[in-house]
Structure 1
Amino acid sequence: MAEGEVRKVDTAAGKISLKHGEIKNLDMPPMTMVFQVSDPALLTKVKAGDKVRFTAKQVNGAYTVTSIEAAP
């Protein structure tokens, strides 16, 4: 799982903007970027400013958050 902070939640578009640390499975350095979500219900769990832990994968060429939870 990667750690990050929610910058913006766009439920209409099914996207979330995250400022995140390194995502090892995607070989991605820390940055802020917009991700698709695999399930729109994930967006109801978080709001802008929340510290989170999440997993992301590349699905059909798009970086997609597949799980997300509030960081302890």
Structure 2
Amino acid sequence: MLKYSLAMGIRVVCIVLCMVTPGWWLLIPAAGAVFLPYFAVVIANNVGSGASSRVRRPGALVRRDPGDRP
């Protein structure tokens, strides 16, 4: 959550810089304001994707045919 909040704080700074930056330099803070939320969400959602959170197929499952119903 801290990384996301920091990224959104930087986005606010980019938006303010868009109001005072002249000429072609405006594209730099505008790109930050547009693309930073996407990367912030990707980073925030990627927190729990370590090696320990992999889904493993349980070995105790046995496949059944649909015709095997009692």
TM-score by length of 1: 0.19
Structure with the bigger percentage of strand: 1
Structure with the bigger percentage of helix: 2
Larger Rg computed on CA atoms: 2
TM-score by length of 2: 0.19
